[in-house]
Amino acid sequence: MHYTTQQDVLDFVEDNNVKFVRFAFTDIFGTQKNIAVLASDLPKALEEGVCFDGSSVPGFMHVEESDLVLRPDLSTLAILPWRPAEGRVMQFFCDIQKPDGRPFGGNCRGFLRGMARRFKHLGLTCNVGAECEFYLFETDDRGRPTRIPIDQGGYFDVYPLDAAENLRRDICLTMEQMGLAPQHSHHESGSGQNEIDFHYASPLKTADNVMMFKQITRAVAGRNGLYASFMPKPLAGQAGSGLHVNISLYMDGKNLFEGDIAPDSIPGSFMAGVLAHSRELTAFTNPLPNSYLRFGCDEAPRYVSWSRQNRSQLVRIPAVQGDNCRMELRSPDPACNPYLAFGLVLAAGLDGIENRMQLCGPVNRNLFELEPPEAAGLGLEVLPATLEEAVDAARQSPFLAKYLPEGLAQRYFAEQLRRCDELRQAADPAEFERARYFCAI
């Protein structure tokens, strides 16, 4: 059921024995936060919103002007099925406002919603799908994550090499309970690595789904005495984890990615924009120092290029038909803020359409086997090799200055560089990374 009024929600709470309601949101770096409201106080919270201290959330507000208000999106209502059946727990995803009702620049859901609206003004409907990879690790006798993967399986393996088939099943069934639509699930290339894909939806719905999927996966893994890590490269010598983003465009009911793509067509210009701005986007699609260990191996791209089917490319066009026709961006990883990452990828495509950029020719080569001098001879740009390089490219970008709220951009870049400095100054970088990221992402 789609809940649209406060009375619909209050009736649901009473009919389903809900006692706690989580108001969930993300900081600008994609970390999920929440505050729980007792069901008896829900009518007031729905009417007035929930005030919180924005200065205590990284990247939000200064102490001298710290109050912010959470406004729930009623359509995102969901019961958390892993919580007790008695005194059930329900959750909303929220937008964030200033106390006087003005928009807050760090409201990343609002940023993505606004970008999708700009496509509608052009007569275009944009759908986004996500393919999310993650690792499963054993925990120690105190429940803390280890670096021991759950199995030694590989791509598409089955039991006994794949020890996670029942857990993936539980994740998919929980997703269905909560209104998500899982499509495929399988063991990935790395030991203990898995992938679950879900059906495409609107950009905002898919970003919400990514956040909910990570929440579900962590909860189901924890219930089974395991730890789910969405860190981009948790194990040296094993495949990194990506968050492949699939995008289709519709006009008058027709999927514009179906069939041949002319360089000056709408989908051609959209892809051209994504390719043109890909280096600037990388600080947002790949937000950790660890993200850059993934590029250039195990099907993660290094060069700015596109092709059909070819998985060594930054952008590829899968060999599918009908509504499944789309472009796939293969650089993002699951540590990103999906609201910002999706919104900026759409902004790049929109910039390509509005400026009538022409799509370059495909590069029908296995780029994993390409040496740097040969890549330079082909005129291929290279994705940033470090987070510092990515932030530098982003800070100099007129494109990002045009689309991103200024305060958000500056706070985001400052935090990224602080992360780099912390890692560089750590006495034991590997232990710092484990404590700071492996146990949190």
Contact residues for 59 (Cβ-Cβ < 8 A; gap 6+): 27, 28, 29, 106, 408, 411, 412, 415
pLDDT confidence of residue 187? 98
Mean pLDDT of the chain: 94
pLDDT confidence of residue 65? 67
pLDDT confidence of residue 186? 97
pLDDT confidence of residue 295? 95
In terms of pLDDT, which residue wins out, 211 or 59?
Answer: 211
What average pLDDT does the segment 128-147 reach?
Answer: 96
What average pLDDT does the segment 329-348 reach?
Answer: 98
What average pLDDT does the segment 62-68 reach?
Answer: 77
Cα–Cα distance measured from residue 73 to residue 112, given in angstroms and rounded to the nearest whole number: 14
Residues 104, 96 contacting (CB under 8 angstroms): yes
Which of 203-207, 217-221, 430-434 is least confident? Answer: 430-434
pLDDT confidence of residue 64? 62
Spatial CA neighbour of 132 closest among 241, 41, 263, 247? 241
Spatial CA neighbour of 187 closest among 226, 152, 137, 232? 152
pLDDT at 383 over 90: yes
DSSP state of 365: S
DSSP state of 415: H
pLDDT digits (tens, 9 = 90+) for 341-379: 999 999 999 999 999 999 999 998 888 888 888 888 888
Strands (E), 106-192: 125-139, 145-149, 182-187
Residues 245, 341 contacting (CB under 8 angstroms): yes
Cα–Cα distance measured from residue 145 to residue 149, given in angstroms and rounded to the nearest whole number: 10
What average pLDDT does the segment 215-219 reach?
Answer: 97
pLDDT at 62 over 80: no
Helix/strand/coil percentages in the chain, nearest 5: 40, 25, 40
Residues 187, 164 contacting (CB under 8 angstroms): yes
pTM equals 0.96
pLDDT confidence of residue 158? 96
pLDDT confidence of residue 434? 83
What average pLDDT does the segment 191-216 reach?
Answer: 97
What average pLDDT does the segment 226-231 reach?
Answer: 97
Confidence class for position 311, pLDDT limits 50, 70, 90:
confident
pLDDT at 211 over 80: yes
What average pLDDT does the segment 311-323 reach?
Answer: 92
Strand partners of residue 138: 226
For residue 238, the tally of other CB atoms under 10 A from its CB is: 17
Q: Is the peptide bond before 160 cis (omega within 30 degrees of 0)?
A: yes
What average pLDDT does the segment 271-291 reach?
Answer: 97
Angle value at C-alpha 349, between 347 and 354, nearest 5 degrees: 90
What average pLDDT does the segment 194-210 reach?
Answer: 97
